[in-house]
Amino acid sequence: MEQIMRNFFLFLSNNKTLTKAAKKYGFRFGASRFVAGVNINETAKKIKALNHQGFVVTVDHLGEFIDSETEAKQSAQECIKAIKVIAEEQLQSELSLKLTSLGLDISDELVMENMRDILQAGKAHDVTVTIDMEDYARLDKTLHIFKTLKQEYDNIGTVLQAYLYRVEEDVSALNDYNPYLRLVKGAYKESATVAFPDKADVDQNYKKIIKQNLLYGNYTAIATHDDEIIAYTKELEQAHDIPREQFEFQMLYGIRLELQERLLNEGYKVRIYLPYGEDWFGYNMRRLAERPANVAFVLKGILKK
Write the pLDDT tens digit of every residue in 13-59: 455 555 554 455 555 444 566 788 889 999 999 999 999 999 999 99
Cα–Cα distance list, 10 to 99, 233, 280, 285, 292 (Å): 20, 30, 14, 7, 11
3-class secondary structure, 151: coil
3-class secondary structure, 62: coil
**Could you report the per-residue pLDDT of 223-255, keeping only the tens digit for each?**
999 999 999 999 999 999 999 999 999 999 988
149 pLDDT above the threshold of 90: yes
* Choice among 132, 170, 226, 279 that is catalytic: 132
**Could you report the per-residue pLDDT of 90-138, keeping only the tens digit for each?**
999 999 999 999 999 999 999 999 999 999 999 999 999 999 999 999 9
Active site residue 116: no
Whether residue 156 contacts residue 180, with contact meaning beta carbons closer than 8 Å, is answered with yes
Mean local confidence (pLDDT), 269-275: 97
Active site residue 33: no
Question: What domains does the chain contain, in order, with CATH numbers?
Answer: 2-303 (3.20.20.220)
* Choice among 6, 182, 271, 286 that is catalytic: 182
Dihedral pair phi/psi, residue 93, rounded to 5°: -150, 145
